[in-house]
Structure 1
Amino acid sequence: MTNLKFHSSSPADLEGDLASLRGDCARMASHWSVPAETVAEPVSPALINGVRVPAGSARLLDSMSDYGD
């Protein structure tokens, strides 16, 4: 499904369709770089402190169902 060919050199068409979006992506693909893989080091739970959750957010999460509706 990868088709990196494009025929238009016009600027991005904000009202365009999927084909114009794919063309825009194809033009930008050479500008994107893949970052080096980073590995997150584990953090001791004793070092995690000071996290505060606003009361409104806590109530919102508390009112959500565990498995979705």
Structure 2
Amino acid sequence: MQKHSVTSSARAAEQDSGLEELRGDCARMVPHWAVPAAAAAAPVPASLIHGITVPPASARLVGGMSEYGG
């Protein structure tokens, strides 16, 4: 098994060049990443939800959040 000794300045330079290479790779790939428009989820009727039990304290907590109704 070989052991390599790398100075901290050499290691930092290697990491910096690796990060720059990664940034360049990502920049070249951006045109290939298509982001579809987010479709809003349709509400599900309460009659279709069954078998789920939520403790009252949790229901109050979630109900009080602006994202979920409060």
TM-score (norm 2): 0.41
Q: Which has the higher contact order (CA 8 A, sep 6+)?
A: 1
TM-score (norm 1): 0.41
Counting helix residues as a fraction of each chain, which structure ranks higher? 2
Of structures 1 and 2, the larger Rg is shown by: 2
